[in-house]
Amino acid sequence: MLADVEKYLYREVRLLDERRFEEWTDLFTKDGYYWVPAYPNQTDPFKNVSIFFDDREVMRTRLSRLDHPNIHAQKPHSRTVHIVSNIEIDEKHDVEGEILVHSTLQMMEFRLDKQTHYGGRAQHLLVKSGDGFKLKWKRVDLINCDGAFEPLAIPF
């Protein structure tokens, strides 16, 4: 099981690095969401501002804009590399058909002669779907979530 989960997470970040954003959003269930809290230990995205809190349709809209010819936030496009490690299946999560996964995540972004590094802990709630998985939700807790950021465009 762990090998299948690792393979899934590696594919997920490869899609981001290759700017295959539509395929990335297809990994999510129809009611899936992506959340990056803006504060340490944030428990509710509805009570506090978040860096990202997008359902699948908002993700699609946001990411489709990155290839629009008039978007200046991504001229030139960011080049990224995501590194996923310390992948663990949460044995305490006992819901039939679901797998809660904890991992560490790093992303390096290069754009306009500047390289930026982001790091944190990630959680993925995977649900079994056919031969594989779908993402019910993904949460990324950046270690500097309450720091100052330049405009962010690429998911972690």
* Domain CATH number, residue 131: 3.10.450.50
pLDDT in the model for residue 43:
95
Residue 156 lies in a domain: no
- List the single range of 23-27, 64-68, 92-96, 103-107 with lowest mean pLDDT: 64-68
Residue 148 lies in a domain: no
Burial of 108 (0-12, 13-18, 19+ CB in 10 A): middle
Summarize the confidence of residues 97-110 as an average pLDDT.
97
Residue 52 lies in a domain: yes
Dist. CA 10–CA 139, nearest whole Å: 16
What would the two tokens of residue 140 be? 């990324």
Which residue, 125, 88, 121, is CA-closest to 104? 121
Residue 38 lies in a domain: yes
**Which percentage of the chain shows pLDDT scores above 70?**
97
Greatest Cα-to-Cα distance within the chain, rounded to the nearest angstrom: 47
Residue 17 lies in a domain: yes
Q: Please, what is the average pLDDT of the chain? A: 92
Residue 147 lies in a domain: no
pTM for this model (two decimals): 0.92
Q: Is the pLDDT of residue 74 over 80?
A: no
Q: Based on the structure, what is the number of domains in the chain?
A: 1
Residue 150 lies in a domain: no
* Residue 64 domain boundaries: 2-142
| Cα three-residue angle 12-13-17, rounded to 5 degrees | 125
